Amino acid sequence: MTPDALPTLRESLEQHGLMAKKAFGQHFLLDLNITRKIVRLGGPFDGDIVIEVGPGPGGLTRALLETGAARILAVEKDSRFIELLGELKGVYGDRFDVIEGDALKVDELQLLADSQQPSPDATACKSHVVSNLPYNVGTPLLVKWLTGPWRPASMTLMFQLEVALRIVAPVGGDDYGRLSVLAQCLCDCEKIMDLPARAFTPPPKVDSAVVKLTPKAVQPEDRIVRALEKLTAAAFGQRRKMLRSSLKSVGGEALLDKAGIDPTARAETVAPEAFLKMAEISLR
């Protein structure tokens, strides 16, 4: 079968008698012009592996399969979609695999290794994540990919607009918080596309945006990332308090002095790099 012979996404949903389920955060992109644009802005993926989370009816999946990516591994929690997605194998063969599972629990390194058997060098290949994320698990998944054992070469992720704005927020504003610091310490973060609620079927209550996160060339050691998570939790947990008070349990005024940060400052006025410096100093 050729890609042209595939039914439209709407026809495919109809043929399988599938409707969106709220419990799975399902808001579908059924316009391939939109999914192709997301993939174009997120790429290039040539010769690489892409893990897609929540393929649903497969709009983003089809756009990914049209690229030069070596393989697309799609992780879908809703078992109703597995058969529909399996039909893409008829066109794309072994370049595509669908895995039924919960992305929060999936071991991506194992998935990548399994997908490349019998190559012994399985995890050396560059891999990316692309997803129109279910809103209820978007933030925990991002934190998993920022801090877990699998570090993708890039992440192209759709969030509800409010979360996207928090990820890319500059220091000093209301949107600036824990997620901004963590994401910006580890990645270059850019909002690459806005999508109104009406672009989705069914439309969600809020607008959305796609963020592309590209990990910085030099990554802090894991123990520094752990310290950063602790510091930002304390600092932004009580964001209206002065840092000398909110950071009392994790080094307080002595740590702030060593890092050259005003102890009377509030968390939202401290840049990501300054938090990272504090995390490094806290481990000395």
Q: What residues line the site for ligand SAM (CB under 6 A)?
A: 24-29, 53-57, 59-60, 75-78, 102-104, 132, 134, 137
Shortest separation between residue 222's beta carbon and ligand SAM, angstroms: 24
Comparing CB distances to ligand SAM, the nearer of 129 and 167 is: 129
Residue with nearest beta carbon to ligand SAM: 54
- Pick between residue 137 and residue 227 the one whose CB is nearest to ligand SAM: 137
Between 26 and 180, whose beta carbon lies closer to ligand SAM? 26
Tell the smallest beta-carbon distance from residue 39 to ligand SAM (Å).
11
Nearest-angstrom CA–CA distance, 64 and 94: 14
> Which C-beta is closer to ligand SAM: that of 146 or that of 157?
157
Query: Nearer Cβ to ligand SAM, position 20 or 122?
Result: 20
Smallest gap from Cβ 79 to ligand SAM, in A, equals 9
Q: Between 28 and 236, whose beta carbon lies closer to ligand SAM?
A: 28
The C-alpha angle 217, 222, 225, rounded to 5 degrees, equals 85
Minimal distance, residue 228 CB to ligand SAM, in Å: 25
Q: Smaller CB distance to ligand SAM: residue 103 or 186? A: 103
Cβ of residue 84: shortest distance to ligand SAM, in angstroms? 11
Give the per-residue SS3 of the chain: CCHHHCCCHHHHHHHCCCCCCHHHCCCECCCHHHHHHHHHHHCCCCCCEEEEECCCCCHHHHHHHCCCCCEEEEEECCHHHHHHHHCCHHHHHHHEEEEECCCCCCCHHHHHHHHCCCCCCHHHCCEEEEEECCHHHHHHHHHHHHHCCCCCCCEEEEEEHHHHHHHHCCCCCCCCCHHHHHHHHHEEEEEEEEECHHHCECCCCCCEEEEEEEECCCCCCHHHHHHHHHHHHHHHHCCCCEHHHHCHHHCHHHHHHHHCCCCCCEHHHCCHHHHHHHHHHHCC
Quote the least distance from Cβ 32 to ligand SAM, whole Å: 11
Q: How far is the CB of 132 from ligand SAM (least distance, A)?
A: 3
